Structure 1
Amino acid sequence: MSSAPQNRTTRTPRTGQLDAKPVPATQNIGFMLLPDFALMSYASAIEPLRAANLLAGQPIYKVLNYSAAGGNVLSSSGTMVPTTPLSQAPTSLHTLFICAGGHPSQWQAPGMLGNLRKLARWGVRMGGISSGAYVLAAAGLLGQRQFTIHWEHAPALIEAFPDLEPQRARFVIDGDRITCGGGVAPLDMMHAMIAENLGADFATRVSDWYLHTQVGQSGGPQRASLAERYNVHHSGLLRVLEKMETTIEDPKTRDEMARFARLSTRQLDRLFDQHLGKSFLETYRQVRLEHARKLLTQSALTISEIAFATGFSNSSHFSRSYKDAYGVKPSEARGL
């Protein structure tokens, strides 16, 4: 919920000249911090707000930190951030971002989801940073909305909420929902948010303050391309690798993949050997097991459910394959 703009003139640090454009009233921007939240993502979100205040010469944004119960919250790198209980968040909040890390067991706390739903009913714009969209989904706040989440957490969200589909984007703004994949993507998201409030020229000045000269677009990729990740440039092999990543639950046979790529099975085998040094089956199994590893640490699915979600016929076969690859059983990996 935005406050009504007020006509103000400000003296800017860059030129010392008066800026004749009206400057909106202060927006209260809240950050709901969950234990082990990613410090880089949080800093990338709050620092542009600080710079905006500095360059405007007045408090355009006020940052407020919250947690489920209040007190100090430990970040992923061990930094403590003091917070206020979420239940005390005021109706004057303009936006609340949920900043979460990679431990699903800590994504929910007593009363937290109810408080988020209450804030949304009040008209507070709700946002998610890194895996924060998972919390919004758990609160039922992403229905019929476009959103994104860090690529590492997307499998857990899709398994837990099969009716939701995150976008493969750096950030997504859909009305009163605003989400980003974390890392340095909040710099891009905040550029868009500041531009929305104060104009593109001012947002560019804020980005320049952090040497952020290449501002990413909303739909930009979160990860390097397949070609970069696998160091492969053969179009047929890239088609097969992409198909592998999208058919984890229902693996395709070697013959099916060869037909899909318009290759013979001998050509397919030769491409995997020459470019990856692994066979078709070894590569496919690795893709599926890496997916399983994410589900083990980030979802509440049982080991049997994870086995089926990654294309294994039963949990015993899955457990043997997982231990061969990583040296520990799936049940042991979940406890690490």
Structure 2
Amino acid sequence: MTVKPAIKRSIVFFLVPDFTLIAFSTAVEPLRLANRMLGYDAYSWRLASADGRPVKASSGIEIAVQTSLEDERRKMSGPDRPSMVIVCSGVNVEKYQNRSAFAWLREEYNRGVAIGGLCTGAHVLASAGLLSNKRCAIHWENLPGFSEAFPKANVFADLFEVDQNIYTCAGGTAALDMMLKLIGDDFDEMLVNRVCEQVLTDRVRSPTDRQRLPLRARLGVQNGKVLSIIELMEMNLSEPLSLIEIADHVGLSRRQIERLFQQEMGRSPARYYLEIRLDRARHLLIQSSLPVVEVAVACGFVSASHFSKCYRELYARSPQQERADRKQLLAA
């Protein structure tokens, strides 16, 4: 009779400035609980930063670490080499340009180490050149800018994605689901269920479960036709549909759609459509380096001047001012 060797997995959590605590804690805690349920340390972990100094989370709380990039490089060829590295990041990830960290991640990956990213960690992995032609997930708020910055990455608005040896999740409590998936792959569903009971969750969500609240809950709208129209609008931002095309899709007249939107949304369908296109434009201005004219085209505007006029009317600043303010904030 052969005895299956005890599974042991060592993980390095690499903390990037302004990382989100909720994603970090919901990734670590299921590992701790799995160890408790198993009765031995199947999972061990250590925290690392670029220079070995404490890292401040987006909440302002500083977390001490055990190692630096230099330390981790020394460990790569010895018994302390990790089996997995998980990048923890959060807000302002666009300004993170640490070439040493990118090179280290590539080296670890090339040595067979699994690589993961929490919240906006996919941005760091893509900057390191690890997500070309890979499925990945990122927080919905960062998805527009990420898609433009890294067109070779197959990014999805999923809770988490596992593509071969690359693990990414959208952050928040999605980190829990991704780690439960890892635990289930290493052990079995029974252990996952026991961990779920400890953290008071009744199930592991599927990778493809939605990140955001359903439109009905998010907008407080109950009318099914209005929800269908809004879904159509959100799927057609770069090439907006005409009201006639929308009417044909949902089987209503233009007048009926106008009346429904005034009742449910307090504005015309044209105005609502414009607002969600400008919201996407704002995300692109903040998260990408696309020229303003390309942002305008990506959001369905025929000219940069018309885009700037609409943007200023809604946000009381020009697209150029929006981007300049963002650059100033990142430089601070």
Alignment of 1:200-215 (within 5 A): 200-215=189-204
Task: Give the equivalent residue in structure 2 for 1:111.
Answer: 100
> Once the two structures are aligned, what percentage of the paired residues are identical?
36
Higher helix share: 2
Q: How far off is 1:182 after superposition? A: 0.6
1:275 to 257, 264, 283: 264
In 2: Cα distance, 1:308 partner to 1:53 partner: 52
- 2:122 pairs with 1:133: yes
> Which deviates further from its counterpart, 233-242 or 179-188?
233-242
Q: How far off is 1:87 after superposition? A: 4.3
- Which secondary structure does the structure 1 equivalent of 2:108 belong to? helix
In 1: Cα distance, 2:151 partner to 2:21 partner: 29
Q: How far off is 1:278 after superposition? A: 0.9
Q: In structure 2, give the amino acid aligned to 1:255.
A: I
In 1: Cα distance, 2:160 partner to 2:235 partner: 22
1:54 to 36, 53, 59: 36
TM-score of the two chains, using structure 2 as the length reference: 0.88
Task: Give the equivalent residue in structure 2 for 1:40.
Answer: 22
In 2: Cα distance, 1:205 partner to 1:74 partner: 32
- Post-superposition CA distance 1:53-75 (Å, at most 9, x none): 23333222122222333312110
Task: Give the equivalent residue in structure 1 for 2:69.
Answer: 86
Q: CA RMSD in A?
A: 2.1
Structure 2: 5+ residue runs without aligned partners?
Answer: 327-332
Q: How far off is 1:312 after superposition? A: 2.1
Alignment of 1:57-206 (within 5 A): 57-83=39-65, 84-89=67-72, 90-91=75-76, 92-206=81-195
TM-score of the two chains, using structure 1 as the length reference: 0.87
Alignment of 1:212-231 (within 5 A): 212-231=201-220
In 1: Cα distance, 2:263 partner to 2:184 partner: 48
Task: Give the equivalent residue in structure 1 for 2:314.
Answer: 325
Q: In structure 2, give the amino acid aligned to 1:304.
A: V
> In the comparison of the two structures, how many residue pairs are matched?
317
- Post-superposition CA distance 1:107-126 (Å, at most 9, x none): 32132222211111011111
In 2: Cα distance, 1:177 partner to 1:171 partner: 11
> Which deviates further from its counterpart, 57-66 or 283-292?
57-66
- Which secondary structure does the structure 2 equivalent of 1:111 belong to? helix
- 2:7 pairs with 1:24: yes
1:245 to 216, 234, 237: 234
Structure 1: 5+ residue runs without aligned partners?
Answer: 1-5, 8-20
Q: Is the 8 A contact 2:133 2:152 kept in 1?
A: no
Q: Is the 8 A contact 1:23 1:198 kept in 2?
A: no
In 2: Cα distance, 1:205 partner to 1:59 partner: 16
In 1: Cα distance, 2:248 partner to 2:233 partner: 14
